[in-house]
Amino acid sequence: MAAYRAYWDLVRDNADFRRLYLARLISFAGDWFLVIPLLGLVYEASGSPLAAAAVLAAQAIPALVLAPVTGVVADRFDRKKILVLTDVARAALVLSLLAADAIGGIWFPLLIIALEGVGAAFFYPASGAALPNVVDADELAPANVLMSSAWGAMLALGAGFGGLFAALVSREAAFVVNAASFLVSAVLVVRIGRRLQEPARSAAVRFVDSVRDALRYAVGNSRVTALLTSKAGHALTSGGAVGLFAVFSFTVFDAGDLGTGLLFGARGLGNLIGPFLAFGIVGSSNRRIYGSIGYAMALWGVAYLVVGVSPGLVLAALAILIAHMGGGTQFTFSNYGLQELTPDHMRGRVFALDFGLDTLAIAVSALVVGALAEVVPVRILLLGLGGIAIVFGLGWARVTRPLWTEIELGSER
């Protein structure tokens, strides 16, 4: 119980973290009011699993293309301004989707989601790099769990209500809710009092050195390399699986936007509760935190085997919840490791590299699996992705075990 009290104490006592946390809760909730109706809009307009998967790919690809710029921007410029400007820009972009029906076709919503992805490509490296600057050192682990839970909680609520809202009200109204959420998030970020970086060490960074510096640092630090590969490797399976949610709902269970929202909601709920449970089990030992990442990925794979054979939507959603308890744990513990192991003046570039690799994997996986879904049954694809995740997770755990057993006791929290 004492371990869980740390979360409440952090939210209660640290006003700047509370503002950042609330901003993420609100913004993430709006995100899923966008994605759920947009997936339904594109799939209904095209009838193509590949087109639906292209929604996720279009959102992800900018992070890879812009990685040389976004990382150094996060290290060189005011991170608070980056967060506010990207929130405002994404609000304007989402409002433009109100014209999607009048314009017709799927090219316009895909263009807008790609531009929204440009905003996200600047936002996430800056926010990931900023988190250690609004908490004390002993608050970083619980802060990561809470920030990951923000995404998971709002995915659960936002996706569930987004599907219901789009079905009962309208997709256009869902776009307006999403835009408003970005503006509220921006107001909360403006009110953060602490500086979100150490200014003295960031001025000398050059744009052309961004990827080279991040790669050089990662290659020179085997633990950072391991954490980067865990996230990108997991995304190669999870991106394709998540890209099938709308197809699974529409074609297997005939549940439409409501079913898509339920599956995404189950994913979010798993991402919410998984890190809390895992952190309570492994405690504050860095060796146990890092050592559990591979097994969390394997849990994801086992649960997706169940998804692939589920006879009904409810059982599929329950299996997805369990799967993403593992996926959320993998993401949270890897993020914590990158923040713990990377100095502030390099953190934006490392997070940009991480975000770029992760989103590249998501885009490739979504497009490849989406193309396969044109000719291969969805259930077979989910079984294959689950099997691959089991092999990768257990293999990663075995190969990286020496890295974590070598951590000195003096580095434990």
Domains and CATH numbers, the chain: 9-188+206-411 (1.20.1250.20)
C-beta of residue 359 within 8 angstroms of C-beta of residue 239? no
What single letter denotes the amino acid at residue 255? A
Distance CA 95, CA 147 (A): 26
CA distances from 165 to 200, 265, 303, 361 (A): 47, 13, 28, 30
Measured from the Cβ of residue 252, the count of other Cβ atoms closer than 10 Å reads 18
Q: Where are the alpha helices (DSSP H) in 244-292?
A: 245-247, 256-282, 286-291
**Which of 6-29 are b and which e, b meaning 16 or more Cβ less than 10 Å from the residue's Cβ?**
bbeebbeebebbbbbbbbbbbbbb
Distance CA 54, CA 189 (A): 31
Output the pTM of the full model.
0.71
The pLDDT of residue 261 is 78
DSSP letters, 85-150, are HHHHHHHHHHHGGGGHHHH-SSHHHHHHHHHHHHHHHHHHHHHHHHGGGSS-GGGHHHHHHHHHHH
Distance CA 177, CA 137 (A): 36
DSSP letters, 331-366, are HHHHHHHHHHHS-HHHHHHHHHHHHHHHHHHHHHHH
pLDDT tens-place values along the chain, 413 residues long? 555 677 788 888 899 998 988 887 777 776 667 777 777 778 777 777 777 777 777 777 777 778 767 777 887 788 899 999 999 999 999 899 888 777 877 888 888 888 888 888 788 778 877 888 888 877 887 887 787 666 666 666 666 666 667 667 777 777 888 888 889 999 999 999 888 877 554 445 555 555 677 778 877 888 999 999 998 899 888 888 887 887 888 888 888 777 887 888 888 888 888 888 888 888 878 888 999 999 999 999 999 999 999 998 999 999 999 999 999 899 889 988 888 888 877 777 787 778 778 878 887 888 888 889 888 998 999 999 999 999 999 999 999 999 887 664 444 43
The pLDDT of residue 210 is 58
The pLDDT of residue 114 is 86
* SS3 of the chain: helix, strand, coil, percent, to 5: 85, 0, 15
